[in-house]
A and B are shown apart, each in its own frame.
Chain A
Amino acid sequence: MSIPVVPDQWLFVLMPAAAALIALTAFVVRYIRWRGQPAATRARATVDDAAGAGAIWRLAIAIVLAGHLLAFAFPEKVLLWNRQPVRLLLLEGTGLFAGALALGAFVVMVVKRLLSNERRGARSVLEVVAGTLVAVEVISGLAIAILYRWASSWSGVTLVPYLLSLIQMKPAVELVAGMPFLVRLHLVCAFALLAVAPFMERVRLVFVPLDRLTSWIVAPIGAIRRPVRSTVEGWSTRRVRNERGDS
């Protein structure tokens, strides 16, 4: 029995489009619902395992993500950087080390959770799916770095133009169609993760700074529209609150 092959058009055109649509809609809906909640409930978003493996995981994954972001935003600069072997080794080595660290921390967190007496189930099925996808992303990313070296260079002329072609709504599937299985898996899992991410509990962590940012942007507009008298009242109330140290 032969395994049915999913057409490339589905994986690399339809899937990213669907993932982006789901992510955007879910994110906006969840943000609106979150804003409607009382302030005390809103601030409930916390980070599990703030120290130890959790902190290492966050640091390592932030470095890996920053590397991916740099490679996507400045592909030519990265190619320029990689022109010197020492720089290339430094960049690839940092990525590989951070990836390995992230995987190690991830494994420690999972083992700790399994050995823990505290019985805490996953918040939802999607949390489990997202966690699995993250694990696949980290493992496949590490495997790519080892088996298909200098990804920071070749991705600049393959994956980055492909992702840009998606943004420009002119998908260039030929750039990824001939890629090895691991690279395709890494991409497909990234699209799946994009779709699942807004359903995770931790998306609240993005809402807090986003809310502050929107308030900061919208505040001057509100101040212009508000009558002068109430604006002055608002200022003095805030001053009193500040001076008293009330939140």
Chain B
Amino acid sequence: MVTPTPIGQLTIWPIVGTHDRSVHALRRVTTGVLMGFLLLCGPGRTASAAPDAATLFTARCSGCHTYGKGDFVGPDLKGVTDRHSRTWLTAWISSPDRLVRSGDPVATALTKKYKLLMPDLGLTAVELSALLDYFAAGGPDAGARLSDRRADAATQDEIEMGQRLFSGQRALAGGGAACSACHRTGRGSAGGSLGPDLLQAYSKFQDKALAWFLARGCFPRVPGAPLTDRETFALKAFLRQAGTDRAAGGSASQR
């Protein structure tokens, strides 16, 4: 009987001697580590971030639309949810081409006015809904109001959100590493030690400078996806709280 050369004999490890016990152990350990890693990564995937409407607006809409700054390639989106029904907007953004072909008068008029058919953005139902909620809530104007808010006006929920964003328990909308990969907030905290300790960041920079710095980001986490206004505010509020707590703890222990 002919025994074909099994492909399994193909040694991919750069070590000679297939009978070497250490080689077998090495293969098993590394394969186990790889498989375990891939398996354990699986459940985490479901916990990925919900779509952030401000990021979606910047990435997908702002190329052609403004919010409150007049018509651009397409119409100004300020008040768009007042001008059209949610059902119509959903149908329009989901598939502009289909709506025009169906002879919808508003869709036809818009295409005629701006001499361009709006492209199909390929948004999911969740993304589309988040975007419409965002427009209804005031769009980027609401974000601007948020960035003007002082950190001492933050609610407990916002501070907790900041803490979760800092530690990485909640993912940033734009992806990338959490602040705790490089920074910590005080000696006992679990953050990284590559970057500076941010315990005194709020007292050092105060509201505006810190908000500006946070929004800018330390590294190009994901090009074109900086922190959202909500994330910036929450992180600012958390850093203020961390600094205040530590100061209060320090003065209490001195007494």
Q: A residues near B, CB below 8 A?
A: 43, 45-47, 50-51, 55, 58-59, 62-63, 66, 70, 74, 76-77, 79-85, 87, 94, 147-151, 153-154, 156-158, 161, 172, 175, 180, 205-206, 208-209, 212-213, 216, 235, 239, 242
**In the complex, are the beta carbons of A85 and B190 less than 8 A apart?**
yes
Question: Does B41 reach chain A (CB closer than 8 Å)?
Answer: yes
Closest 5 CB pairs of A and B: A153-B181, A150-B192, A55-B22, A148-B194, A157-B177
**In the complex, are the beta carbons of B37 and A81 less than 8 A apart?**
yes
Q: Which single residue of chain A is at the shortest CB-CB distance from B9?
A: A212
Q: What are 14 A-B interface contacts by the 8 Å CB criterion?
A: A50-B17, A59-B22, A59-B29, A79-B176, A83-B44, A149-B193, A153-B181, A154-B194, A158-B219, A205-B16, A208-B14, A235-B2, A239-B2, A242-B2
Instruction: Specify which chain B residues have a CB less than 8 angstroms from the CB of A239 in the assembled complex.
Output: 2
Instruction: Specify which chain A residues have a CB less than 8 angstroms from the CB of B252 in the assembled complex.
Output: none
Question: Does B40 reach chain A (CB closer than 8 Å)?
Answer: yes
**In the complex, are the beta carbons of A175 and B30 less than 8 A apart?**
no
**In the complex, are the beta carbons of A66 and B181 less than 8 A apart?**
no
- Knowing A66-B30, A80-B44, A209-B12, say if A50 contacts B177 (CB, 8 Å): no
Q: Which single residue of chain A is at the shortest CB-CB distance from B34?
A: A66
**In the complex, are the beta carbons of B44 and A147 less than 8 A apart?**
no
Q: Which single residue of chain A is at the shortest CB-CB distance from B167?
A: A85
* Contact bitstring B1-24, A, C-beta under 8 A = 1, else 0: 011000101111111110010100
Question: Does B221 reach chain A (CB closer than 8 Å)?
Answer: yes
A82 vs B16: C-alpha distance in the bound complex, in angstroms? Answer: 35
- Knowing A62-B26, A150-B180, say if A70 contacts B2 (CB, 8 Å): no
Question: Does B175 reach chain A (CB closer than 8 Å)?
Answer: yes
A151 vs B176: C-alpha distance in the bound complex, in angstroms? Answer: 14
* Contact for A213 among B10, B25, B167, CB less than 8 A: B10
Question: Does B178 reach chain A (CB closer than 8 Å)?
Answer: yes
A216 vs B190: C-alpha distance in the bound complex, in angstroms? Answer: 50
* Contact bitstring B164-177, A, C-beta under 8 A = 1, else 0: 00011101000111
- Knowing A59-B26, A154-B192, say if A80 contacts B45 (CB, 8 Å): yes
Known A76-B175, A79-B168, A161-B220; further 20 A-B contacts with Cβ < 8 A: A50-B17, A50-B22, A59-B26, A70-B34, A74-B41, A80-B45, A85-B167, A148-B192, A149-B193, A149-B194, A150-B182, A150-B194, A154-B182, A157-B181, A157-B219, A206-B14, A208-B11, A208-B16, A209-B14, A239-B2
Instruction: Specify which chain A residues have a CB less than 8 angstroms from the CB of B109 in the assembled complex.
Output: none
**In the complex, are the beta carbons of B41 and A205 less than 8 A apart?**
no
Task: Give chain A nearest CB distance to B189 CB in angstroms.
Answer: 11
Q: Which single residue of chain B is at the shortest CB-CB distance from A205?
A: B14
Task: Give chain B nearest CB distance to A30 CB in angstroms.
Answer: 14
Interface centre among A83, A84, A156 (most CB of B within 10 A): A83
- Knowing A149-B193, A212-B10, say if A58 contacts B40 (CB, 8 Å): no
Instruction: Specify which chain B residues have a CB less than 8 angstroms from the CB of A46 in the assembled complex.
Output: 16-17
A186 vs B219: C-alpha distance in the bound complex, in angstroms? Answer: 20
* Contact for B193 among A58, A79, A148, CB less than 8 A: A148
Instruction: Specify which chain A residues have a CB less than 8 angstroms from the CB of B182 in the assembled complex.
Output: 150, 153-154
